[in-house]
Amino acid sequence: MSDTSFLQALAVSKTYPGERVAGVKRISLNIKPQKITAIIGESGSGKSTLLRLLYGLLSPDDGRVLFKGERIWGPEEKLIPGHDAMKMVTQDTDGLNLYAKVWDNIAVLMPNTDVSAKEERTSQVLQQLNILKLASKQAFFLSGGEKQRVAIARALITRPEVLLLDEPFNQVDTSFREGLQQDIRQIVHDTGLTVIMVSHDPAEVLSMADELIVLKDGEIIEAGHPKTLYQAPQNLYTAKLLTNCNVLSQANAALCGISTKAADVVIYPEWAAPTGSWTRKDWTVKQVLFKGNHEDLLVNKGDITLRVLNDEPDKYKLGDKVHIKINKYLAFDN
């Protein structure tokens, strides 16, 4: 089977009843099997709509969604909505029985025909999601992150080929998120699962995704490897989604020594560095934001404020005069 025929959308459009603007417009994509594809976009850009179309929870008005070359049935055509080879996990963990133990919440989804297979598979997914030690705990007492792990274990127990995640980590503490993200990567690596995830957390999509799709107003505006999209985005919109970047008008860019015909100039914080030893110290430190191993400095010149990365914490204090060296920028007309 070639990559192109795993999960495909062909010019898919969907407008919700009574809405004037389309949820998604003429979307075509090829999901690569056994990889993590992340979909990012601002709120209302059509991420959840696209995910539901891929899963078969919504029928497209136009175009087709194909899984291994076969059209995915919509909710009108299927008794239990959603493609049988896929499972979806969202933020809400309502499917959990809070009065039952973690083990039972997961095992209940396996048939009783082969009890030893059921036990073996349940303990395997508990292990994959690092929740074996919670097996006999009542779901009621779990943290948000633990509940999310159980929800994913429930989705995976029947070995779906595709796992769809719609911003499932929003309720999970940042410190626990990374572990869960790593575990999902490991599962993809070990089992060949295909993951399609929606997220608006740049750190999450950059570290997890093999392929990134950027949605704006229901359309794909660019797609590619996260590193490529981060380092060389084709759109200002993409840069803003992926970084806490500085956006300067042409006139303000000129005041920073950048001459361009483009409308907007983007400077990532790590592309601008303070240097104290220069004579032309025309920037003033307005804020020092401690980030652990580095600081973000907000520096100011006239009307212009720049966020710049300083990897020598404590070197500068409020009111210090500094020179800012801009090492790289992007210019955009869109």
Q: How far is the CB of 43 from ligand ADP (least distance, A)?
A: 5
Q: How far is the CB of 79 from ligand ADP (least distance, A)?
A: 21
Per-position x/- string for 42-81, each x denoting binding to Mg ion as judged by CB under 5 A, each - no binding: -----xx---------------------------------
Burial label for 152, CB within 10 Å (0-12, 13-18, 19+), is buried
Q: Which does 23 bind (CB under 5 to 8 A by kind): ligand ADP, Mg ion, none?
A: ligand ADP
The three-state secondary structure class of 99 is: coil
The site that binds ligand ADP (CB under 6 A) totals a number of residues, namely 12
Q: Is 148 in the site for ligand ADP (CB under 6 A)?
A: no
Residue 265 is inside which H or E element, if any? strand 264-267
DSSP string, 131-148: -GGGTTSBGGG--HHHHH
Query: Which of the 8 DSSP states describes residue 269?
Result: G
Binder of ligand ADP out of 23, 56, 168, 269 (CB under 6 A): 23
Neighbours of 45 (CB within 10 A): 24
Q: Considering only 25-33, 36-44, 103-111, 260-268, which stretch makes contact with ligand ADP by CB under 6 A?
A: 36-44
Complex with Mg ion: residue 48 or 243, whichever CB lies closer? 48
Q: How far is the CB of 182 from ligand ADP (least distance, A)?
A: 25
DSSP string, 62-95: EEEEEETTEEPP-TTT-SS-S-TTEEEE-S--TT
The three-state secondary structure class of 276 is: coil
Complex with ligand ADP: residue 47 or 147, whichever CB lies closer? 47
Binder of ligand ADP out of 8, 30, 37, 45 (CB under 6 A): 45
**How far is residue 41's CA from residue 201's CA, in Å, rounded to a whole number?**
10
Q: How far is the CB of 23 from ligand ADP (least distance, A)?
A: 4
Q: Is 44 in the site for ligand ADP (CB under 6 A)?
A: yes
The Cα-based distances of 38 to 10, 168, 197, 207, 301 in angstroms read: 18, 12, 5, 10, 38
Q: Which residues bind ligand ADP (CB under 6 A)?
A: 16, 19, 21, 23, 41, 43-49
